[in-house]
Amino acid sequence: MARMTHSDVEAEVEIRRYRPGDAADAAALRRICVRTGYNGGDARGHYRDPGVLPALFATPYAELAPELVFVADEGDGPIGYIVGAADTRAFYRAFRATWLPRVRDRFPELAGATDMDGELRGLLHAPERMIDAEVVREHPAHLHIDLLPRGQRRGLGTRLMTAYLDALRERGVPGVHLGMNPANTAAHAFYTRLGFVTLREPTEEAQVLYLGLRL
């Protein structure tokens, strides 16, 4: 029997568009987001309800911008995804108008809470806080990308990113940005290899590193 090579294994993973209305795809996005939502690791046990993570960073994209959602499918379902929006301001307007009413009761704000739960729920109820006016001026699109551990270090992140960036270019989008934890040096190195540059350093008020790429 012929021995399978690394390239043979990679060829078995399909990068495809998300399937709106497909319950399995929707569940996979939620699961992957939770399993990678705590500094790249499993968020279960670290939040009152880890479902706030996909409610903020995954499912609204599948609902509001499914044409820009791509998944890495190993054959038995997605093991990673990339989501985003071509126009950040328009996306968060739609988020507030049509998505927030669907989830606000499950994830009420936590008055006075300064932990991760409090911060995430605060963002959910005030999504405009995720807009940096200077950043979106020349980089109006944004993205989130996550891969389960078994999908990492296999070139799938680059393939997902390529599919997403090509879709943005087809729409004439001039630039894309992302916000990341500055302590995640592996992710920073990945984005740098793809050509992303620093747009805004973290501040005392917001420990977020903004990176961007002109398209």
Segment 131-150 mean pLDDT: 96
Q: What is the DSSP string of 121-146?
A: HHHHH-GGGG--HHHHHH--EEEEEE
Q: What is the DSSP string of 149-210?
A: GGGTTSSHHHHHHHHHHHHHHHTT--EEEEEE-TT-HHHHHHHHHTT-EEEE---SS---EE
Whether residue 116 contacts residue 48, with contact meaning beta carbons closer than 8 Å, is answered with: no
pLDDT-based confidence at residue 158 (cuts at 50, 70, 90): very high
Looking at residue 10, its pLDDT comes to 53
Assigned token pair, 110? 């936590």
Residue 68: DSSP 8-state? G
Architecture in CATH of 6-176? 3-Layer(aba) Sandwich (3.40)
Residue 209 has pLDDT above 80, yes or no: yes
Residue 148 has pLDDT above 90, yes or no: yes
Whether residue 208 contacts residue 135, with contact meaning beta carbons closer than 8 Å, is answered with: no
Looking at residue 6, its pLDDT comes to 46
pLDDT-based confidence at residue 204 (cuts at 50, 70, 90): confident
Residue ranges per structural domain of the chain: 6-176
pLDDT-based confidence at residue 164 (cuts at 50, 70, 90): very high
Instruction: Round to whole Å and give the CA distance between 181 and 187.
Output: 9
Instruction: Round to whole Å and give the CA distance between 78 and 87.
Output: 26
Looking at residue 111, its pLDDT comes to 78
CB atoms within 10 A of CB 134: 10
Whether residue 74 contacts residue 154, with contact meaning beta carbons closer than 8 Å, is answered with: no
Residues in contact with 189: Cβ distance below 8 Å, sequence separation at least 6, in sequence order: none
Q: What is the mean pLDDT of the chain?
A: 92
Phi, psi angle pair for 158, to nearest 5°: -65, -40
pLDDT in tens, 26-79: 999 999 999 999 878 889 988 889 999 999 999 999 999 999 999 999 999 999
